[in-house]
Amino acid sequence: MTDVVPAPTAAVSVPAGVPCLVKDMLPFGVVITSTRPDAAITEVPIPWLRTLARECHLIVLRGFATVGATDEFDAYTRAWGTQVVWDFGTVLELREKASDDPVFDTGFLPIHWDGMYGAYIPEFQMFQCVSAPPAGEGGRTLFCDTSLVLADADAETRKVWDSVTIRYQASRIAHYGGVLREPLVGSHPVTGIPILRFSEPTPEDRQVANRPVITMEDVAPDRAAVIFEDMRSRVYDPRHLYAHQWAVDDILIADNFTLLHTREPYLSGTPRHLRRVQIQGEPPLANCRLTAA
Ligand SMILES: [Fe+2]
User: How many whole angstroms from 125 Cα to the centroid of ligand 1?
Assistant: 9
- Ligand 1 centre to CA of 80 (Å) is 19
d(CA 157, ligand 1 centre) in Å: 27
Taking the centre of ligand 1 as the mean of its atom positions, its distance from the CA of residue 201, in whole angstroms, is: 15
Under the banding of pLDDT at 50, 70 and 90, the label for residue 72 is very high
Tell which wins on pLDDT, 67 or 213: 213
pLDDT of residue 225: 96
Q: Residue 200: phi, psi to the nearest 5?
A: -80, 140
Ligand 1 center to 67 CA (angstroms): 22
Task: Describe the chain by its helix, strand, coil percentages, rounded to 5.
Answer: 20, 30, 50
74 Cα to the center of ligand 1, angstroms: 18
Helix (H, G, I), strand (E, B) or coil at 74: helix
Nearest-angstrom CA–CA distance, 209 and 177 = 13
User: The whole model's pTM is what?
Assistant: 0.94
What is the average pLDDT across 117-132? 96
- Give distance in angstroms: CA of 72 to centre of ligand 1: 22
* pLDDT of 242 above 60: yes
Q: Where are the domains of the chain?
A: 20-291
Segment 82-109 mean pLDDT: 93
Residue 8 CB partners (closer than 8 Å, separation 6+): 23
Q: What is the pLDDT of residues 156-189, one digit of tens each?
A: 999 999 999 999 998 877 667 899 999 999 999 9
Nearest-angstrom CA–CA distance, 231 and 260: 12
pLDDT band at 8 (very low <50, low <70, confident <90, very high): very low
CA of 114 to the centre of ligand 1 (A): 5
- The larger pLDDT score, comparing residue 293 to residue 117, is at 117
Q: How far is the CA of 32 from the centre of ligand 1 (A)?
A: 23
Q: Is the pLDDT of residue 5 over 90?
A: no
What is the DSSP code (8-state) at residue 131?
Answer: E
CA–CA separation, 254 and 112 (whole Å)? 13
pLDDT of residue 205: 84
pLDDT band at 2 (very low <50, low <70, confident <90, very high): very low
259 CA → ligand 1 middle, Å: 11
Distance 102 CA to ligand 1 centre (A): 10
- Dist. CA 223 → ligand 1 center (Å): 28
Rounded CA-CA distance 150/240 in Å is 10
Q: How far is the CA of 161 from the centre of ligand 1 (A)?
A: 23
279 Cα to the center of ligand 1, angstroms: 13
pLDDT over 90 (residue 211):
no
Domain 20-291 class in CATH: alpha beta
